[in-house]
Structure 1
Amino acid sequence: MAVEKTFVLKGKPESQWLLVDATGKGLGRLATQIAHYLMGKHKPTYTPGVDMGDYVVVINALQLDIPKERLTTKIYYRHSNYPGGLKAISLRDQLQKHPERVIRAAVWGMLPHNKLGRRLIEKLKVYPGSEHPHAAQKPTPVA
């Protein structure tokens, strides 16, 4: 009877920079793909509980493919922790004012909600247009 061992990577894994174009993609499928890359599940050395992921740069966040009905029915809530401090904003308004928050919120919901998840979400960089300041890192485009 052979005893199977769990693989645990020793040392610090190298992170790459990936470029994801959000043009014409659905929000949920895009967020799933980004979370996959942030956690490092695309690597053969993936180890749960270890920051294995890559940096992800998302461009063209304004050009997501979202159904028209969803633009009015999806509401984002936040609270100021003061009485009566509940703020609500629709997806349409959020896309116009802060399109990077839409993708960030969707990806955050798919990451672990602990110290590791907070470290992973910092590796996500979202920009509304096609311009980004990470050209020096030479991000590789992802299909």
Structure 2
Amino acid sequence: MKTTLAKAETTTHGWRIVDAKDQILGRLAVSIANSLRGRDKPTYTPHVDTGDYVIVINADKVKLTGAKEEQKKYMFYSGYMGGEKYRNVADFRKKRPEFIIMNAVKGMLPKNKLADRMLTKLKVYRGEEHPHSAQQPTPLAS
């Protein structure tokens, strides 16, 4: 039996769409990360980007379990002494709900240059509308 490895030149990238409304953040991020990596395809190769583009709509309506809305904190550091800032999920849901999903998916991708290229294939939108209808995205199976 011969093992075939995918090549970057021969892979095709499809378009998937997922509605984040009333879905739990962690479970949603796992399915998005698997699709970005290509783990749901038979041609999956760890060192080649075989994944699909993923469009996420209704990012502001994603659900978190427990008291994470107020207790989960994101830390930002300016590089200066005392330059730490902490913001919770409720702040991001008002101002930048796309960040919540992007950060969760980024944490589930490998920590290398390939993951940076995979993350550019993730398109997250606050509401129902998105400009990618010409790509005819298919629903992502959760």
What's the TM-score once normalised by structure 1's chain length?
Answer: 0.92
Structure 1 consecutive aligned stretches of length 4 or more whose deviation exceeds 2 Å: 4-7
- Structure 1 residue 105: Cα displacement: 0.4
- CA–CA distance in 1 between the matches of 2:42 and 2:91? 40
Determine if the alignment matches structure 1 residue 141 to structure 2 residue 139: yes
What stretches of structure 2 of length at least 5 have no aligned partner? none
| Residue 85 (structure 2) aligns with | 87
- Structure 1 residue 12: Cα displacement: 2.8
- Structure 1 residue 135: Cα displacement: 1.2
| Residue 26 (structure 1) aligns with | 24
What's the TM-score once normalised by structure 2's chain length?
Answer: 0.93
- Structure 1 residue 31: Cα displacement: 0.2
C-alpha contact (below 8 Å) 1:34/1:56 kept by paired residues: yes
Query: Which residues in structure 2 correspond to 1:98-117 (within 5 Å)?
Result: 98-117=96-115
* Secondary structure class of the residue paired with 2:10: coil
Of the three residues 68, 71, 81, the one matched with 1:70 is: 68
C-alpha contact (below 8 Å) 1:31/1:103 kept by paired residues: yes
- CA–CA distance in 2 between the matches of 1:60 and 1:18? 15
Across the aligned residues of Structure 1 and Structure 2, the Cα RMSD in angstroms comes to: 1.3
Fraction of identical pairs, as percent: 50
- CA–CA distance in 1 between the matches of 2:140 and 2:49? 20
| Residue 45 (structure 2) aligns with | 47
- Structure 1 residue 67: Cα displacement: 3.1
| Residue 4 (structure 2) aligns with | 7
Deviations 1:81-106 (A, max 9, x none): 12221111001111111000000000
What stretches of structure 1 of length at least 5 have no aligned partner? none
C-alpha contact (below 8 Å) 2:6/2:50 kept by paired residues: no
C-alpha contact (below 8 Å) 1:7/1:47 kept by paired residues: no
- Structure 1 residue 140: Cα displacement: 1.2
Letter in 2 for 1:8: L
- Structure 1 residue 5: Cα displacement: 4.3
Q: Single out whichever of 9-18 and 32-41 deviates more from structure 2.
A: 9-18
Q: Single out whichever of 25-34 and 11-20 deviates more from structure 2.
A: 11-20
C-alpha contact (below 8 Å) 2:57/2:128 kept by paired residues: yes
